[in-house]
Amino acid sequence: MSASSLLTFAFAVFLLASLVVKFWLATRQVRHVASHRAAVPPAFAEKISLAAHQKAADYTVAKGRFGLLETAFSTAVLLGWTLLGGLDALNQALMAWLGPGMVQQLALLGAFIAIGGLLGLPFSLYQTFVIEERFGFNKMTWKLWLSDFAKSTAIGIAIGLPIAATILWLMGAAGANWWVWAWAFWMGVNLLAMVVYPMVIAPMFNKFEPLEDETLKSRITALMQRCGFRAKGLFVMDGSKRSAHANAYFTGFGAAKRVVFFDTLLKKLSADEVDAVLAHELGHFKHRHLVKMIAVLFAFSFAGFALLGWLAAQPWFYTGLGVRPNMTGPNDALALMLFLLAVPVFSFFISPLMAQLSRRHEFEADAFAASQTNGQDLGTALLKLYEDNASTLTPDPVFVKFYYSHPPASERLARLSPGVPA
């Protein structure tokens, strides 16, 4: 069997296996949540109403069933782009129109992204204006959605085009070790984005106003000082104009760090609970989780660029994934797209490892919050957030292990309140 045929076979096997596993996990989740819909788990019976529990179950089941359709469609699209020749046909058409060169490569990238975005648009709209609307979470108007879409498109072109052009130029001009330079450039872009995004891009979509509650501000400032954390400011974001979901987060890097509260969060939590939630976020800082995740990103991206550097020079890499490489021009854009399409298929079965690492970080942050504030306040805050966000209290254990970046409520509260059954 040739290398090209072997790659085709491996890709098809992994694609089918991942599809089967995704369907198996999703149906497990739907069945498990639906089967526990009739009663609130005993550990939460005194604090969560049956109506809230059933709303969370129905919301989870609706998203799960819709996710099955979306998974099937995205798998079909992926197969269409690769083994069925979609990307090859698009490349050949643009080659005939524009000829080989940088313009054709950028046009190929742009067309690929635009077509993919249009194909996924109905699912995004249904998620927002049907499912989120049905359960009372969507606050987005069509006017706001169009505004966001226009802004996102403009920003994507303004930022993405120079980045893509630079990487393609490096692939063609920097010799055999181009991938080292491309990796360094990509990491620099990611670090720069951590500084630029909170100060420049995020304000284009939301209003960020300084926290005005002096009492709450004093409490938060005192907590941050105890924890050795400095931020450029405390801000309230108007998240309620798009969604009823609540959250709080740190954003930025270095001197650009900001603490951001959704306005919905401040309306739902007491001052003690806000302290506890912030202490949890500070726990991520104290345990250097961001630095650790950046290190993981650096390592994985380095390995990825090294692999791409080798694969881009192998003709079987293209033919094995349904594409005829250009004979008279560069294949750098093709290599990039095929790599981005294929890697998730082959890496799907190691994704639970990253989810497990994330859950461990969440437990560490919870423990830190409990050491700096009242653990019961964090527990009640988490319950309010689970209830308000309609997060199910009875997820399928296998689904949790594979997908959940945050531990389920039962596990988190059991650690915060020993004696509560998980």
Residues contributing to the annotated binding site for Zn(2+): 280, 284, 362
pLDDT of residue 238: 83
pTM (2 decimals)? 0.88
Residues contributing to the annotated binding site: 280, 284, 362
CATH number of the domain bearing residue 258: 3.30.2010.10
Is the pLDDT score of 12 beyond 60? Answer: yes
Percent of the chain with pLDDT over 90: 55
SS3 46: coil
Higher-pLDDT residue of 258, 150: 150
Domain membership of residue 125 as a residue range: 3-180+292-348
Are residue 270 and residue 298 in the same domain, yes or no? no
Q: Which residues are catalytically annotated?
A: 281, 366
Q: Looking at the 3D structure of the chain, how many domains does it have? A: 2
* 103 lies in some domain: yes
Residue that terminates a domain, selected from 304, 319, 348: 348
| pLDDT tens figures, 186-209 | 999 988 888 888 788 888 888 888
Q: Span 339-367, mean pLDDT?
A: 93
Contacts 24+ apart (CB under 8 A), 34-38: 34/61, 36/394
Give CA–CA dist 245/38, Å, rounded: 24
Average pLDDT, the chain: 89
pLDDT of residue 183: 96
Residue of 339, 267, 268 whose CA lies nearest to 301? 339
Is the pLDDT score of 418 beyond 80? Answer: no
Are 183 and 171 in contact by the 8 Å Cβ rule? The answer is no
Higher-pLDDT residue of 239, 272: 272
Sheet holding 258-262, edge to edge: 208-210, 234-237, 258-262, 248-251
* 194 lies in some domain: no
Which pLDDT band holds residue 252 (cuts at 50, 70, 90)? low
SS3 251: strand
| pLDDT tens figures, 63-112 | 999 999 999 999 999 999 999 999 999 999 999 999 888 999 999 999 99
Are residue 322 and residue 374 in the same domain, yes or no? no
* 146 lies in some domain: yes
Q: Span 53-68, mean pLDDT?
A: 95
